[in-house]
Amino acid sequence: MAKKVLIIEDDTALAENLSNTIKAGGMEVFVCHDGEAGFRQAEDKKPDLILLDLVLPKKHGFKVMEDLQKNPELKSIPVIVLTNLESPHDIEKASSFGIKAYLVKANYTLAEILKKIKEVLEG
Amino acid sequence: MKKRGFFQALNVVDRCRELHVSLLQCPHFLFVLMGAVISIAIITTHVVASYYAEPETVVSIIFIVTVFLLVVGNAVVHAFEKVAEASQLKSEFVAIISHELRNPLSSIKWQLDAIFEKAEVSADEYKNSLKIVNHSNEKMISLINDLLDVNRIEDRKFQLTLEIFSLVDITNELTKLYEPIAAASNLKFMILTPKSQAWVKADKTRIKSVVSRFIDNAIRYSTSSGEITITMEDADSYVRWTITDQGAGIPVEEVKSIFSKFFRASNILRYQTEGLGVGLYLSKFIIEASGGTVGFRTLEGHGSTFYFTLPKSKA
């Protein structure tokens, strides 16, 4: 069965780029444009991996991770943070949630992101 | 940094002027001030001790001098704290700007990436990609323009280029531009115009940026569906432009600082939207510099109304 990836990204163009790339990589993709919808979708679809932006409308990425941690069914879903924030404070805080990777959007190509997703999924 | 002679280096006032900070926020001045205070205290103590014979008098005077030293010392430490805070604010600001610039940059990067990766790209796909690249580019240009405007205001070099134009025209033009974005959130514009064209004499480009920001904010802070009402009224001596959304409103504790510079800076996690947080600050400055007024009413959970007025002009 194809692996399920949930993208939580408010920029629609970026979300579409990611979605197309990951679909082409043979995975099933769900896209949400705000933190609240993203969390609900995570509860609903139980994805194999979440690609999470940090600065999101309605619920910040940190809060999404906090809520994921609180739910025993969701806390083991691997999360890759994909953001353009890069302060040591943000990286440290994100890492405290046990994320699989912290990627700065501007520094990665779509192919590199896909590679990282596959690495995480193959464990 | 320029090299300077020994005596030039002693001129702290010039040094502080070069650093563009007030004397009380300038480390060079604070250092000299502290030194002067300590020297005066030592000399006073010496003079007092040699002048008065009774130990009680000497002790009380030294006590007073010490208290004075403590007070001044405390003020100097406080001023240094302000210097540190300013530097902290600057780093936060750099972090926000890089974030805001990187967003459109990533968009362009990935868009091109996607095109290069594909074996065949249709004309429509090209066009669509270029549209997104263009939009990102515009975003960066307006970001830089806002930053430069903030800088011009601080350096008192902000200048308006006045011309006569119709507020109704630019409002129609801009709402047309924002219609697809509003529609994506199930929002509709309702525009109430006066019989006149609402002619004003102001800086057209900048007033357009003010109107865009108000529309953009109304969409951004609106809940998922509803109406955004824009009303223009033609009064005796001025034209009044009002926008009302049915959005989240502004929390009471934040109402006071909404027009301040980098309002979002300390609230970045709270507002969770893009932007530098200088929009309303710039808008207020532009409107007031054009002889108008700006204000708002808000009720948390029920939306906000923002308005501005501009002096009327004959067509």
What domain count does chain A have?
A: 1
User: Å from A112 to nearest chain B CA?
Assistant: 11
**A11 and chain B in contact, CB less than 8 A:** yes
DSSP 8-state code for residue B118: -
Q: Over the Cα atoms of chain B, what is R_g?
A: 28
As given in the structure block, the two tokens for residue B6 are 């020994």
> Looking at residues B104-117, what average pLDDT do you find?
92
Classified by CATH at the fold level, domain B94-154 comes out as Helix Hairpins (1.10.287)
* Per-position b or e across A36-73, b if 16+ CB within 10 A of its CB: bbbbebbeeeebbbbbbbbbbbbbbbbbbbebbeeeee
Residue A67 belongs to domain spanning:
4-122
Q: What is the mean pLDDT of residues B122-142?
A: 89
For residue B105, what is the nearest residue in chain A, using CA coordinates? A106
Q: What's the Rg (C-alpha) of chain A?
A: 13
Distance CA B108, CA B154 (A): 32
Decide if B289 touches A, using CB distance below 8 A: no
B57-102 tens-digit pLDDT: 888 888 888 888 888 888 888 888 888 887 777 777 788 888 889 9
3-state helix, strand, coil in chain A (%, to 5): 45, 20, 35
Structure tokens at B99: 């974030």
Distance CA A111, CA A101 (A): 15
Taken as a whole, chain B contains a residue count of 315
Question: Does B131 reach chain A within 8 Å, measured CB to CB?
Answer: no
Q: How far apart are CA B288 and CA B294, in angstroms?
A: 7
DSSP A105: G
Q: Say if the Cβ atoms of A87 and B113 lie within 8 Å.
A: no
Taking the Cβ of residue B111 and every Cβ of chain A, the question of whether any pair is shorter than 8 Å is answered with yes
A3 lies within 8 A of chain B by CB: no
Identify from A86, A110, A114, A115 which residue to disrupt to test chain B contact, counting B C-beta atoms within 10 A and taking the largest count: A110
Q: What is the pLDDT of residue B283?
A: 92
Query: Tens digit of pLDDT for each residue in B229-244?
Result: 999 999 889 999 999 9
Give which of A81, A85, A92, A107 to mutate to test B binding, by max B Cβ within 10 Å: A85
* CB-based contacts of B114, cutoff 8 Å, min separation 6: A17, A20, A21, A110, B129
Enumerate residues 6+ apart whose C-beta is below 8 A from B124: none
pLDDT digits (tens, 9 = 90+) for B262-284: 655 444 444 445 666 778 888 99
Give every CB contact of residue B314 below 8 A, 6+ residues apart in sequence.
B164, B199
Interface of A with B in 37-96 (CB under 8 A): 55-60, 62, 84-87
β-partners of residue B295 are: B307
Using N-to-C axis directions, what is the helix angle for A110-122 and B55-117, rounded to 10°?
100
Question: Which CATH number fits the domain that encloses residue A28?
Answer: 3.40.50.2300
Test A109 with B103 for CB contact under 8 angstroms: no
Average pLDDT over residues A72-89: 93
* Per-residue confidence band for B167, with pLDDT thresholds at 50, 70 and 90: very high
Is B163-311 a domain of CATH 3.30.565.10? yes
How many Å apart are CA B76 and CA B30, to the nearest integer?
Answer: 6
Chain B residues inside the 8 Å CB shell of A14? 106-107, 110
* Residue % of chain B over a pLDDT of 70: 91
Handedness of CA B66, B68, B71, B75 (dihedral sign): negative
Residue A17 touches chain B, beta carbons under 8 Å? yes
Q: In whole angstroms, what is the distance from residue A103 CA to residue A80 CA?
A: 7
Q: Is the ipTM of this complex over 0.85?
A: yes
pLDDT band of residue B3 (cuts 50, 70, 90) is: low
pLDDT at res. A47: 97
Q: How far apart are CA A23 and CA A2, in angstroms?
A: 10
* Dihedral angle sign, alpha carbons of residues B172, B177, B180, B183: negative
Which tens digit of pLDDT belongs to each residue from A19-36? Answer: 999 999 999 999 998 898
Distance between CA atoms of residues B75 and B60, nearest Å: 23
Q: Nearest residue of A to residue B224 by CA position?
A: A58
Q: Do A104 and B103 touch (CB under 8 A)?
A: no
